[in-house]
Structure 1
């Protein structure tokens, strides 16, 4: 293996949105993706890194950058409800849904509130920790970017009227080097083809600029987002975009005297963020309409202010959803009873009396758990657990050792989601092949979707080349400390 153990080498983390193990293995092993094949053959390959939950980009990136689940970083999902302000919070789930909530509010949420208000001040990001050590860092194409470096960002004129910023400008706390499409860029003559975050070619050019100008910091986080949209429509077996991104990685490696020299000079990581589950073709069958399940209740409308008459709020994150109970006269038990009738829902979870309770539309019984008990899982977390373990596909040995099946790190991830923000709410998970629907929710029929707790969306690949050190566990929550130890 062409590797050199050298402390302090710059770490470059390339996040390929929606990269899945099977697809990566196919293109690498058949020689269609030479750069990824080189990194795999000259480094370490982990096909089963456990992502965050829900498996949605802002929650996942927050977990990766803070080393915590949502109970600590407090970014619940791409779409959630702020019970204190009685407002829907949407970071961009789709045009129709975003438009009804309010473009101005959603854009402000994504550009500013996500990093400066919603992301908990009780946790630190990799960028902040590195800054405390006077170590530089870079973020390219990531909406989760909070650092310690004040930087004035300017909104393009076409969008400035849709923000809360005076003249479309604001001061953001960013890493040392920061690129986010038209809002901030390294190359003065660079023209992003997308306003928000640029495409894969633009992203690669920004990274190459750092290398070419000798401005590559100790840690660089770079996201290629393009593949996610294509998989939504073409399904999880679509691989052409991986080949296009691989071509850009080849150009990056070609900047060095040899690809092996690139490994001597830097530590290279390639990671996915979430997988996809194939979706069915029939809307009535494969789209779980929560409005029909709860037709006896008054459901808050996206485009209207929430009133005292509203009983429920529905926030869909593709294959998972938050269901908020506003009516103090109603009970979660009545909502659970309605959901259990639907065989397309495999996980229904809520918190009560210090414990998490889970039922299913598929299996009978209840499983309940809480932290700090006699059962130890494969990640050295301890739990009290009782009930029907089959609901979460859990397996406990006689020595009180817990392993996971179809729902990786299920206990910690459900606990994280149910303690991610205030309110009385349920977390629901759809079986593979199905997704949830509410008002104006984007549909992905005959394609693919994510968001759920299931292994199909939760297990993603990680390539590491240029070091022999491994993360403590194969989870996104372990990536922050892993990177900091390398830096």
Structure 2
């Protein structure tokens, strides 16, 4: 770790949803991203920062802001099953699924319960940590926003009927400066171009307002969300979204006497949150309908509450899925054997006591592991490992070292989801090109999808400019500590 030689200065973190290294480098090579090129050439560039699992935004942002995986922050995906309340939790996976689950319920989950009920009180966000140290922070366009400053949010009249808040108003705990589309704005007369949150131009305008008014806090977190929807449709190598967002970053840097002065006055971090895997074109070949494999069991229907007679609940996070087994008389092994018949499922995992068991529909063999043991991985985490390491594409050396192949930091990330919430469940992961379906969950044929443990979705770029410091490891869970280190005396 390098010694901090920088004076304390504001940190600005720009999170570009679905930014990936290869299209970023293509955009720079073709002259379409001069602002990102400037930041890259005047700082440090990491092509392989490891994100969290599942590779869905709410889980990743929770890991980023708390510095923990899901076993500690307890946000296990964009959709999951709350076993204690027998309720499917959904933060907005797609219009059809959201409509059938109930729009009011989903909006309430996304805007309020995510931060005030589901995000564990046992962990602290970076906003809470900085407030303890007497430093202000800003959250712009992030649905994970928990801080310790009471903030009043206002639901637009046309949208208030879809919420569970009296008169469309409620108070939540957020960062000192809080912006979330039409619900809370930094600019007094700002206009959000999207109902639920602002688009990339809105995010940039909010940040520019703080800079112009000299209101930039110690730490500012901005999310540019638009690229995700475009890549789902166009595929992972589309760079038009990068070009559009780069133009907004250029305008932000132009507020300073020079771009050099912008990085002299601030530390800038630019990162992606998850990658995408290109999806196939044939529905029958590339869409794994879990209902067909499990049709002999009583699967809960999302249109109604979970019934006592239901045996299984399916929660699909695009290229990964949770399969919850509610019937105690139904052994997990029966379902696992069914799933192993599908060669498109590359990981089938479950928990037995303190160990994680992994098999595959693509490969023979099995693997069992748990924390603490004679093997140490590249992140200095120790593990007890038995069985066929190739199931998770692990490389075990004679010196008891573990390195990762297709599934970065797989042992910790997979372990985390099995300890993120209660219940008996199986985790399945689709091979690249494929994704899961259950009832009304969306699919993305001829485009791209994410959610899985695979490196295509798990490795994202990170640019650090304005400081010579670096994170301990290039992982999303190490960014919180890194930022606090930049800001501390």
1:361 paired residue number: 361
Matched, 1:428 2:428: yes
Distance 2:182 2:318 in 1: 28
C-alpha distance in 1 between matches for 2:143 and 2:286: 31
Secondary structure of 2:146's match? coil
Rounded to whole Å, the distance in 2 between the matches of 1:354 and 1:32 is: 50
Which secondary structure does the structure 1 equivalent of 2:429 belong to? strand
Alignment of 1:444-463 (within 5 A): 444-463=444-463
What CA distance in whole angstroms lies between the structure 2 residues aligned with 1:161 and 1:19? 35
The answer on whether the counterparts of 1:5 and 1:466 sit within 8 Å (CA) in structure 2 is no
Match of 1:73 in 2: 73
Matched, 1:110 2:107: no
CA distance in 2, matches of 1:35, 1:150: 35
Does residue 249 in structure 1 map to residue 249 in structure 2? yes
Q: Is the 8 A contact 1:365 1:387 kept in 2?
A: yes
Alignment partner of 2:232: what SS? helix
Partner of 1:307: 307
The answer to whether the aligner puts 1:47 opposite 2:47 as a matched pair is yes
Q: Deviations over 1:32-83 (max 9, x none)?
A: 2100000010000000000000000000000000000000000000010111
Q: Which whole-Å CA distance do the structure 2 matches of 1:354 and 1:199 have between them?
A: 43
Are positions 1:283 and 2:283 aligned together? yes
1:466 and 2:479 correspond: no
2:141 is the counterpart of 1:141: yes
In structure 1, distance between residues paired with 2:83 and 2:409: 28
> Is residue 286–residue 435 contact of structure 1 (8 Å, CA) maintained in 2?
yes
Taking the TM superposition and a 5 Å limit, the aligned residue runs for 1:178-327 are 178-327=178-327
Structure 2 CA distance for aligned equivalents of residues 159 and 29 of structure 1 = 43
In structure 1, distance between residues paired with 2:430 and 2:409: 17
Q: Give the 3-state SS of the residue equivalent to 2:460 in structure 1.
A: strand
CA contact (8 A) 1:349 1:357 kept: yes
Corresponding residue of 1:442? 442
Q: Supply the distance in 2 between the matched residues of 1:252 and 1:212 (Cα, whole angstroms).
A: 10
**C-alpha separation between the residues in 2 aligned to 1:131 and 1:427?**
37
C-alpha distance in 2 between matches for 1:265 and 1:6 = 11
Q: Is residue 352 of structure 2 the alignment partner of residue 352 of structure 1?
A: yes
Q: Are 1:153 and 2:157 counterparts? A: no
TM-score (norm 1): 0.99
Q: Using the TM superposition, give the Cα deviation of residue 166 of structure 1 relative to its aligned residue in structure 2, in angstroms.
A: 1.0
Structure 2 equivalent of residue 176 of structure 1: 176
Find the counterpart in structure 2 of residue 131 from structure 1.
131
- How many residues in Structure 1 have an aligned counterpart in Structure 2? 484
Q: Does 1:94 align with 2:94?
A: yes
The 5-angstrom pairing of residues 391-430 of structure 1 reads: 391-430=391-430
Once residues 309 and 171 of structure 1 are traced to their aligned partners in structure 2, the CA distance between those partners, rounded to angstroms, is: 38
Separation in 2 of the partners of 1:195 and 1:249?
23
User: How large is the RMSD of aligned CA atoms in angstroms?
Assistant: 0.8
Paired with 1:369 and 1:459, the residues of 2 have a C-alpha distance of: 23
Q: Which residue of the partner structure matches residue 389 of structure 1?
A: 389
| Deviation string, structure 1 residues 135-170 (Cα, Å, up to 9, x no partner) | 000000000000010011111111212212111111
Q: Deviations over 1:430-475 (max 9, x none)?
A: 0000000001010100000000000000000000000000000011
Give yes or no for contact 1:127–1:137 (8 Å, CA) kept in 2: yes
Q: Is the 8 A contact 1:300 1:313 kept in 2?
A: yes
Please report how far the alpha carbon of residue 273 of structure 1 lies from its aligned counterpart in structure 2 after TM superposition. 0.2
Unaligned 5+ segments in structure 1 are none
Distance 1:109 1:381 in 2: 34
Shift of 1:5: 4.5
Question: Aligned partners of 2:110 and 2:8: how far apart in 1?
Answer: 33
Any conservation in 2 of the 1:231–1:447 contact (CA below 8 Å)? yes
CA distance in 2, matches of 1:7, 1:50: 28
